[in-house]
Structure 1
Amino acid sequence: MDVFADDPNFCSACGTILPLDNSSLLKCIKCGQKSDLAKMNLPAKTTRIYFNTPAKTKTAAQEEAAHATVSDGPIADKKCRKCEHQGLTYMTLQLRSADEGQTVIYTCPNCGSKEVENS
């Protein structure tokens, strides 16, 4: 009994995941079984999802609007090194390995300058 007979993602003989390509004939990398996509009972429509598509470039007006809203987020009692403004917004990220501390990025709501602190 071919459990994977109608699924184009798996080899019908051994169940190994088949490599994705644009050809109508797929060959299993483990057992060599060849599957013809035209003979399978596939849905009429397939959907492809793309992840991590490149972002569109921002215009100067969009960049200014982004700086106008930098005050969103929690505020730390810290002074800006550039303009001496008291009260910087911040966010934390885990950019290094899990056994090391987090990275804190401070943003001045007044001038938009950024400071990075590895804690």
Structure 2
Amino acid sequence: MATIGSLIFCTDCGNLLPVSKGNTKNILKCDCCGAENRVTQSKPSDFPSLLRQKLSTTQSVERHKIQTEAYTNETCDQCGRTEVRFSAVQLRSADEGSTIFYTCECGHKWNTNN
């Protein structure tokens, strides 16, 4: 018996087997050639996969450990420093620009709308 998606075919003649006509022992009888085909099911654990293991692992991220800022060449109005940290946040609707938040080492903070 061969399976393609949810379709099951007879191994002897290749005829499409009617899934609704199976008996309690998971045997499908072919209407064309009379062959009995056993239906089995496999579990995901029967086929180990590195990708499946990675997807099933629960990951937790602590917010304070996420690096959301980068450095840019922007001049601080307070101290004149030319390299400050920035982060971009989408505060308005999607068709409008993002808001850029700047932070200087001196503690001065400001923002601009793109």
Task: Return the TM-score normalized by structure 1.
Answer: 0.38
Structure number with higher relative contact order (C-alpha < 8 Å, ≥ 6 residues apart): 1
| Structure (1 or 2) with the greater strand fraction | 2
Structure index of larger Rg: 2
